[in-house]
Amino acid sequence: MTITMKVTIFLAMSLPTIVPALDNGVALTPPRGFSTWNAYPTTGIDEATSVRYLDAIVSAGLPSLNYTYFIVDEPCFPGRAANGTLLENRTAWPNGISAFGARLREHGMKLGIYTCVGPTTCGGCIASEGHEDQDIATFAEWGVEYIKVDSCERNCTPAAGIHNQSTCGQELWSRYTKAIANHRTITGGQMVYSIVCNCAPGRGESPWKWGADVANSWRTNIDVQGGFGFLDNIVFCQRRMSGNGSWCPNDPKDPNGPGFPCADGQTCAENDKCPGPEAFSGPGHWNDMDMLIVGTEMNLKPPFCSNCTCVGKNCTGCDGCRRPSHWIPLTVPQAKVQVSLWTILKSPLLASADFTNTSDDMLDTLRNREVLAVSDDPLGREARRLGDSGYHDSSTGEIYVGLMEGNSHAVVFYNRNGNPTPMTLVLSDIVNDYTCAEKINGETCIPATSYAVRDLWQHTDNGTVPASGQINITVPPSEVVMITLRPTS
């Protein structure tokens, strides 16, 4: 099958300038690190397992690549003292969580922890409702520098001080914003604050609308799960975010029906006229597409069940130990897809796997300095998906383009097809229409006359192309090509 896609930009969409946002001086680029949850997807993660994961992370060289945060998710606190202070489980954490934080800092990492806005967590453990300030103070004393606050068991009643159901989430999570501002971390700054509402467009919650005033990142979809197919669903969901939280519109899957109004109060006749997720993202505040599942495979509880083997979901020799999760492991090309898209869409990059026996080829998808440099670009501009069909499905593949510092561009060509797919990027579209017409963060855009092309996965220079030219690439099935375009003049 031979298909050529010419990228055309619709200028009918006027993207809003980012509103004044939380300015706590952290997460000026998307946070990068490790979460225990998908590696150990149950409550009660212990010290021995966390140390095992840390040793593998250090051995893989990830801290030197700014995989900074290690989120303990979740340790499951056994209760509270008479004064309400959280108690640690010293059986599971004999040296204490603060000692583990000190161990992390020896390797250049920082401690993160998990709680919920309700009285109990999603796993039924003690959470922080009514103790927001007290728990943040405790976490700060332990050396926590990243806090993940989930949504389970949230209480949207007058008894919890909530009198407007439509703003319940914003009010509950704002309580942590105030508490975090009151309690400095061990290094004197504020904690990175991550909201996890398990939201998705059309599910009645739109944290991207107010998240920048409250937190450093907010989840835009439900938990990642299953394998590569679900990753595609997350990307599909991400690009449907509109200013009002609807799947914007003319879409049979939109629960609000076609023509639902966008952020500007006008009714959208076309999907491409809706503000996309990039309108809500920038330095210090990010759309969070959930964890990377690169290397996530068997997820077994200690003693790690050495006799347990699995092919897909079919496992043998697993009696007496925790069965594996239902992950279908990613291939290396699929891992490159997730890392490329999460990077160009400026999602936090939190790996979550036991890397003890992970191949170098798989780990290299997390260690590509050229790709990570896109995430670290100080402009912080989330890419926009381009195409004749706006935000609708495209059987011909998808192209994402994001402006970077110095009038450079990052580009991801993503083939969602089962066949090799030719794609064409017309540079005049992005240079003249896209990047210079839509200055989301007030950046200066000066079109160049030609651009140097660099392939970030192949690590090759692919010549130069004039600003009036085009780039033709054939992408293998379910794979990506990721390039940068840097001005030569």
DSSP string, 5-42: -B----TT--PPPPPP----S--SS--EEEESTTTS-S
Give every residue of the chain whose pLDDT is below 50, as ranges.
Answer: 1-20, 201-203, 242-273, 299-304, 320, 323-324, 388-394, 432-442
Which ranges of 22-131 would DSSP assign to H, the alpha helix?
47-59, 97-106
Tokens for 361, please give them. Answer: 């080829």
Beta strands in 343-391, from DSSP E residues, in sequence order: 349-351, 384-386
pLDDT digit string, tens, across residues 97-125 = 999 999 999 999 999 999 999 999 988 89
Q: Please say whether the beta carbons of 298 and 18 come within 8 A.
A: no
Alpha-carbon distance of 248 to 269, in angstroms, equals 9
Q: Beta-carbon neighbour count of residue 470 at 10 Å?
A: 14
- Rounded to the nearest 10 degrees, the angle between the axes of helix 228-238 and helix 332-344 is 20
The C-alpha atoms of residue 449 and residue 427 are separated, in whole angstroms, by 10
What pLDDT, on a 0 to 100 scale, did the predictor assign at position 252?
Answer: 42
pLDDT at site 315: 65
Identity of the residue numbered 71: I
Q: What is the pLDDT of residue 397?
A: 79
Coil, strand or helix: which one is 314? strand
From the list 179, 196, 94, 92, the residue with the least C-alpha distance to 144 is 179
Task: Name the nearest CA neighbour of 31 among 284, 339, 409, 410.
Answer: 284
- pLDDT, position 305: 53
pLDDT of residue 15: 34
Contact between residue 252 and residue 259 where contact means Cβ atoms under 8 Å apart: no
Q: What is the pLDDT of residue 92?
A: 94
Q: Measured in whole angstroms, how far is the alpha carbon of residue 421 from the centre of its chain?
A: 27
Q: What is the pLDDT at residue 368?
A: 98
What global pTM score does this model have? 0.86
Burial of 295: CB neighbours in 10 Å, binned 0-12, 13-18, 19+: buried
